[in-house]
Amino acid sequence: MKGTSPDVEVHSSQEPWWRRGVIYQIYPRSFQDSNGDGIGDIRGIIDRLDYLVWLGIDAVWISPIFFSPMADFGYDIADYRKIDPLFGTLTDFDQLIEAAHRRGIRILLDYVPNHSSDRHQWFLEARSSRDNPRRDFYIWRDAAPDGGPPNNWQSEFGGSAWELDAATGQYYYHAFLKEQPDLNWRNPEVRREMYDVLRFWLDRGVDGFRVDVMWHLIKDAEFRDNPQNPDWTEDMPPHKSVLSIYSCDQEEVHDVVSEMRAVLDEYGGDRLLIGEIYLPIARLVAYYGRDLRGAHLPFNFRLIEAQWDARHIERQIVEYEAALPEGGWPNWVLSNHDKPRIASRVGRDQARVAAMMLLTLRGTPTIYYGDEIGMNDAPIPPERVQDPFELRVPGRGFGRDPQRTPMQWDNTVNAGFSTGSPWLPLAPDKDSFNVEAERSDPHSMLSLYRRLIAFRRENDALNLGRYASVEADSCVLAYLRETENDRYLIALNLGPEPAVLETPGQCRIVISTEGKAEGEIVEEKLHLQGNEGVLAEMMS
């Protein structure tokens, strides 16, 4: 057995909180409803903070709660400084900050700078006339010579990304819905206004932001056509028919990201900037910025997109580690509000193995609400579909409702989520897979998550130590996490059949996803059951 990747520097105990911390994503519509309207809200989050403390969470990232017409469920913002009444009030939000901070939990907000709602006052003014002072807050172009859209850029939700404004005779650009016009980030006044939005929430005590579609913010100044995608097939989302090399990920975007970072740094070094970026690794890591003055954590979605195969995932880990800039801190995600849940992708048995992977890899982990109890994507009847992506491209499996269903708290009415009719249906297995049922079961998914989080918190080798691959065969992914004083072996069987790993020395089993005897000493060969992950302390 040998390490096959270079050692990664072990950091001191003075590291910022997010290097040791565990982040938990809440989709607020679906977490906890406090007033019986069937939609989760801020007071519901407050009511569940003690659960998050018990689980061991350090920070909560909350998807958008700002004033919105809800064309895209909060990602179309009509006022960046107001809380939408569906979720509560600014007073509720201030109470959330106070209650979370009192419990040692930090609050991260979802910042949506790429686009506003078409009902935002800025856009209402911008479309009122071509010479309105707000006109250049958005992206306007004349029609093509044939009268059609200015170029071939595609909306992420299908169809052209250009919408003709009949009143002024120009097209405006929207990377998503036509109700979500893109802001013009080449305009210095837009930047000033949007940085003041950050300051507004930072002044209220927010601990950081996850920046929505960060890589979209700057577009090609010449508005050139995107090239056709030669690999596109009918089973892929429509916007993938072109390669978006001109409509996003422009070099100038890094200046914007560094400016956002500078705003956070005005408030001290512990405010966190996360970027949502779906790009290949080589382009993703550029968002750490020059001299690491960009995003602290450009979201790494390798595990969401990966083929569930040990050798493939090992290559993804090693390539990612090698691509990180010096001093750049890694991060890992298994699920989110836009992608199918891990349990639905790989099955609940493998989801336990995935949990061990997430919480033992080097870097900051983010847990999507409900993954810790093994929630699956729930079937959504056609008449209950809410997601605009599914409504625009129906029957293709692109809809995001299945992974956004209400949190399953207990086996009471509506799984304890609401006393009213939930905005999305609950999963059929809610009575078996819920917090109350799993909390008292030492072998449940929830208990496994809690143990892994606690063990990670207590051991520098797991939260700050080096990563080194361990040679393994067949379906086993194995690696070491180590400091000068401690070494841990993580062995993950990503297949259903038993497997054997030759260990790099004598070790003692600490945690097994399948209940292998804790404290068992393994001399040379670690026998893994199918779908088993093992965390073991190296003794030699």
Task: Report, as residue numbers or ranges, the catalytic residues.
Answer: 212, 276
Write a three-state SS string for 21-38: CCEEEECHHHCCCCCCCC
User: Coil, strand or helix: which one is 196?
Assistant: helix
- Token representation of residue 426: 């609950």
152 DSSP 8-state letter: -
Closest C-alpha among 149, 150, 123 to residue 135: 123
Q: Are 511 and 519 in contact (CB under 8 A)?
A: no
For residue 84, CA distances in Å to 76, 89, 253, 266 come to 11, 7, 29, 27
Helix, strand, coil fractions of the chain, as percent rounded to 5 = 30, 20, 50
Cα–Cα distance for residue pair 377/375, rounded to 1 Å: 7
Cα–Cα distance for residue pair 235/396, rounded to 1 Å: 7
Cα–Cα distance for residue pair 25/23, rounded to 1 Å: 7
List, as one string, the DSSP characters of 235-261.
TS-GGGGB--TTTS--TTHHHHHHHHH
Q: Are 48 and 24 in contact (CB under 8 A)?
A: no
Cα–Cα distance for residue pair 70/130, rounded to 1 Å: 27
